[in-house]
Every structure is written in structure tokens, then in C-alpha cells.
Structure 1
Amino acid sequence: MPLPRHRFAVNLSMLFTELPLPERPAAAAAAGFRAVELWWPWPATPTPAARELDALRGALRDAGTQLVSLNFYAGQLPGPDRGALSVPGEESGRFRANLGVAADFAASVGCTALNALYGNRVAGTDPGAQDALALENLVLAARAAGRVGATLLIEALNPLESPAYPVTGSARAVELAEKVNEASGLGNARFLMDLYHLAMAGEDPTAAISAYGAAHTGHVQVADAPGRGEPGTGTLDVPMLLKRLEQAGYDGWVGLEYRPSGPSADAFGWLEG
């Protein structure tokens, strides 16, 4: 049975990357989608020039696409970095410099979810000190998101691909979101449920959906596992999991965050059933 495309957001940091960034929203629209999501599009800087922000804003507008989720600055993605907010020194400062920029851009395009990646452990640095810094920065991120009416998303990655990243597994991410909510008093931090990362971490995605599908989840992302390709290229039953999410009461966006096996425009056949 075909899956309606209006439920899905195309991740323009993984799909349509054969095109320059300003051309990707139109390509997603041509493929039948009206919602998109992005990692922070300028990994080299947390504070891009106004003309770059304007160009992306105009591309989204002209394509008729809505940005539904945006990462805060997280360092070099794809690459070795996995976030900046728990990394002492310059990277933490860059994350803080990005908070207002990202929140204001999100507000200007109607984006209501901002994802804050935790960051890797740093050799020679006390993990407790990193966790304290992370909580401080996550509270600042919750306030920045709250100022523009957005949800703060907290994502669990998988230890196979991100061995130095300490937030793995749904329970850890949900616990962290609750801790941020308690510290900020805002209640706007939610779990970003990435079914690919859960599966690669050895977690049963169906159990995570049953535990956190509606009550704690603010956004969902999918890719097949292993390989992080489009559904049907691995062993993960993504259509079944999406049905489970619906049954659990989740009615939010589902981000298509996978690597296409060919041209991006041909990577959506699995939606036809």
C-alpha cells in the first residue's frame, strides 16, 4: 500500500547532495515532497553570512517547501564530529554563537524543531565535566528554541559508528531530555527517534516505539540497516515500524535521512508499496 508523501520530510543533507544546496528544495518538491529537514548546512561556521541564510530561505520559499527540522551547529558532518555542545573550549563557544542564528533562521521559515547533537567524549577530559557543560548548553538551546516556539530535539546515535558519543539508546536520550526539561522549566525537549541508529545499536525499535512513540518523541528519522540506505536495501522493516508508530499515536514528521543507492530522485520507490 503506498505511503502518503505528505507525512515525510526529505533530509537535504543526505539526499539530493549531487546538487548545490539552493537547488535541493526544488528537487525535493519535484519528487513530490513539501517538507524537508537539514543538518546545519554550514559545518565550517556557526555564523554564516546573511547572504547565505537569505539564499537558503529564498530557495525554500520558491520551492514551496517547509523546513521542519534543523540541526544546531554540530561541527563537521559528515565527518568525525558528532556535535559540539559538550566539547570544552572553542567548539562549545561555536555552539553558543550558533544558538540565536539557528533559532532566528528556523523562525523565519516556520521550522519548529531544532536538533542538538551532544558531542563526543574528549580524551583527557573529565566525562562529568563534559556532562555538566552539556546540560548547561542544552538548557541554553532549550531557551533559544522556546523563544521561537520550537521543540528541542535530543538524538541517540549508535556506538558502532560513533564510539565516542555517549548518548546511545532511546532510554538515555529520553532521560537526558527529561533532565533538560527539569533544568530549564520549559518542557520543550523531546526525543529524536532515529530508527536506523536504534537498530545499529542493537536496540529493538519496536520496543522503543512502544515505550516512547507518542509521549516522548518529537521527531522520527528512518534509514535501512545496515548501510543507511533507502528502505528495502537492508534488513529493517521500515514500513512495519512506521505502522507501529502510527498505532502508538505518533503523528509527527518522519525524516528520510538515508544515502540513496543511485540518483536521489529514484530513492523513493519504496513509498509506493
Structure 2
Amino acid sequence: MTYTVNCSILLTELPLLERPAAAKAAGFDAVEFWWPFASSVPADAEVTAFEKAITDAGVQLTGLNFSAGDMPGGDRGLVSWPARSSEFRDNVDVVAGIGGRLGCKAFNALYGNRIQGEDAAKQDELAAENLAAAAEGVAGIGGTVLLEPVSGAPAYPLLLAADALKVIRRVEAEAGVVNVKLLADFYHLSVNGDDVPAVIESHAGDFGHIQIADAPGRGAPGTGTLPLREWVARSRELGYGGYVSLEYKEPRETAFTWLTQPLP
């Protein structure tokens, strides 16, 4: 099984730039991050330090989020946010630069919350335009833009796989891009009440990425009730060939012990 460690939610006891080396020491060769900078267009020195932490650790960066705003404060992306659209477009260039230098090809674009006072249809129109621009921005490095249903954010409109797929089809039809794919986060889909086995049966071969955490609790596999190994195995049987991201909450000391234990 080819796992990648999400170093924005795991190994958080360590400073961010020390986490790639800690993932390597734990036996992994791949990592991914949410947007790791305080601003959408960080200083060159910040970018260089981040890239050096990846290369010095000897791991592959397999995924990187576009800037999503203040995540701890409740933001969930800039894609559909009218007041920050130009900021998102500027961020695309930074993301593509990092991806090109580090060989990363998967980039998660969080859709964004509904903004009070903004017309939802106008937000969706803007999102389609920005997703197309992001797709074009990373196409030159062979990149794929990922679109993700999310739980726990009441104003976030993409809850089910069908919601994200509807947006993806719109972008494909209106802009002609083919490198926007579904990010199948089995935790979010399950918590939101989606039929995860049905999603896998219908779309596994077209998943752009898989992320896993158990439910309830968003802990490591085995801490909840989700048949994660079964779902991943079925996804692979149906054609998914990419990484599986470990994107759960678990203390560093026990973060990966489930890998050596049988699961229900």
C-alpha cells in the first residue's frame, strides 16, 4: 500500500518544517500538506525553506493545497470567494512553482464557504472560472486540481461526492479542461451521510486522490467504525492507482501503530 502522510494534521507536535523528516523516520517516503504559509503569496525565503525541508528529508511531496484562507478561523477556501478571487489567482502561480520544482502533481482547491450577502449562483460561476484557471495553471507540470466535499463547515456547499462531481462536470463543459478530479475523503463523505461504497463503485477509477480517517472522531483507522481498508482495496480493484493520504488526528507516539495491527 502506498501511503502519504498529511503533515498538516499529523506530527503536529513538531515544527512544520521538521515533519517531513519525522515522516521519513517513521518509514514513509511521501508527504502532503495543506497550504503551509500564512499568506497566499509568501516570501521567496519561506518557499525555499519549505522546499528544502522536503528535499532534505528525502520524501516526495505528493499533494499540496491551494491557499484556503484562515482555516482555524473557519475559512474553507478562496475558489468561490469574490473578494479574494484575485488572491486565489495569484496563489495558483506559487502553487505551480512549488509543484514544478518538487515534482508534486496533486493540488487541492477548497471550494470556499457561502459568503453572506453574495449570490450563491454568482459564487458558483466564479468558482468554475477559478477552478478552470487553476487547472490551466498546473497543466504545464502535469498537475491535477482536486475538489473535495468537506464536513464540519456549515457554510461549505459541497457535502457529497455528487456535489463536487457536478462542479467538475461544469468546469469541463465550460472550459474544456480535463484535469479537475474528485478528492475522495472517506471520512468527510461518511460523516456527511454519503453512500461511500456506491461512490467507490461508480467513480473509483476517476478519483484524483483518496484521504482516510476513521469515524467518529477523525482518528486513526481502527479508532472508529469505518471499513477503510475494505474501501481502499475496492477502489484499487476498480482502477484507483494513486496514493492514499493519512489525514487523521492522532498523537505522534501512536500515529502509525494501526499499520501493524489487524483492523475489524
RMSD: 1.2
Structure 2 match to 1:137:
130
Q: CA deviation at 1:183?
A: 2.5
Q: Pick one of 116, 122, 135 that aligns with 1:123.
A: 116
Rounded to whole Å, the distance in 1 between the matches of 2:100 and 2:3 is 20
Q: Which residue of 1 aligns with 2:46?
A: 52
Higher mean Cα deviation, 46-55 or 77-86?
77-86
Residues 16-44 of structure 1, C-alpha deviations (whole Å, 9 max, x = no match): 111111111000000010011110001x3
Structure 1 runs, 4 residues or longer, greater than 3 Å off: none
Aligned residue for 1:25? 20
Q: Is 1:266 aligned to 2:261, yes or no?
A: no
Q: State the aligned residue count.
A: 261
Q: Does 1:102 align with 2:92?
A: no
Cross-structure match for 1:219: 209
The whole-number CA distance in structure 2 between the counterparts of 1:8 and 1:138 is 27
Identify the residue that residue 255 of structure 1 maps to in structure 2: 245
* Equivalent pair of 2:111/2:127 in contact (CA under 8 Å): yes
| Whole-angstrom distance in 2 between the partners of 1:265 and 1:147 | 40
Deviation at 1:242?
Answer: 1.4
User: Does the CA contact (< 8 Å) of 2:29 and 2:59 recur in 1?
Assistant: yes
* Contact 2:132–2:177 (8 Å) recurs in 1: no
Superposed displacement of residue 132, structure 1: 1.0
Q: Which runs of 5+ in 2 are unaligned?
A: none
Q: Report the TM-score, using the length of structure 1 for normalisation.
A: 0.92
What secondary structure sits across from 1:15 in the alignment? coil
TM-score in terms of structure 2 length: 0.96
Letter aligned with residue 108 of structure 2? N
CA distance in 2, matches of 1:147, 1:226: 40
**Structure 1: segments with no counterpart, 5+ residues:** none
In the alignment, is the contact (CA less than 8 A) between 1:142 and 1:184 conserved in 2? Answer: no
- 1:209 and 2:200 aligned: yes
Question: Separation in 2 of the partners of 1:199 and 1:270?
Answer: 20
Distance 2:77 2:136 in 1: 18
3-state SS of 1:16 partner? coil
Matches within 5 A, 1:150-165: 150-158=143-151, 161-165=152-156
2:33, 2:175 → 1: CA distance? 25
Q: Counterparts in 2 of 1:164-183, with a 5 A limit?
A: 164-183=155-174
What is the aligned-residue identity percentage? 48
- 1:100 shift after superposition: 0.2
The answer on 1:80 being equivalent to 2:74 is yes
2:187, 2:146 → 1: CA distance? 16
Q: Contact 1:143/1:184 (CA < 8 Å) preserved in 2? A: no
